[in-house]
């Protein structure tokens, strides 16, 4: 988790944070483990930013992330970069 992600996360409403955390726990983590993305998350690469992906966690909720070096064997490591509305791409 980057410092910028931490700041973005604090700026979310409690409802937005709860929705993001639920989506990560129930959808994103199982998909990362399987390295297969369900359509509802709309995971795709961020244009012009190598190795960075975005996912949709709400109708106007986006988060960007990248794979990091493994910390534990057999477990994917994700580094969260930004979170918020679609506006986070204005200066990704």
Does residue 62 fall inside a structural domain?
A: yes
Tokens 């604090």, residue located: 10
pLDDT of 34: 87
Residues paired with residue 10 on neighbouring β-strands, in sequence order: none
Does residue 74 fall inside a structural domain?
A: yes
Helices (H), the chain: 3-11, 14-23, 29-34
Domains of the chain: total = 1
pLDDT of 48: 87
Does residue 92 fall inside a structural domain?
A: no
- Residue 17 belongs to domain spanning: 3-82
This prediction has a pTM of 0.85
DSSP letter string over 56-71?
EEETTEEEEEEEE--S
Strand-pair category, 77-84 with 53-58: unpaired
pLDDT of 19: 95
Residues paired with residue 68 on neighbouring β-strands, in sequence order: 77
pLDDT averaged per 10 residues in sequence order, the chain, 92 residues: 94 95 95 89 90 93 93 89 81 54
Q: Say if residues 54 and 64 touch (Cβ distance below 8 Å).
A: yes
Task: Give dist(CA 81, CA 34) in Å, integer.
Answer: 21
């Amino acid at each position: 988790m980057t410092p910028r992600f931490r700041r973005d996360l604090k700026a979310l409403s409690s409802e937005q944070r709860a929705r993001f955390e639920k989506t990560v726990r129930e959808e994103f983590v199982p998909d990362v483990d399987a390295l297969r993305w369900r359509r509802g998350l709309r995971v795709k690469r961020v244009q012009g930013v190598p190795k960075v992906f975005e996912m949709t966690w709400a109708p106007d909720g986006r988060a960007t992330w990248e794979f990091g070096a493994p910390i534990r064997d057999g477990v994917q490591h994700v580094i969260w970069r930004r979170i918020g509305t679609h506006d986070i791409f204005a200066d990704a």
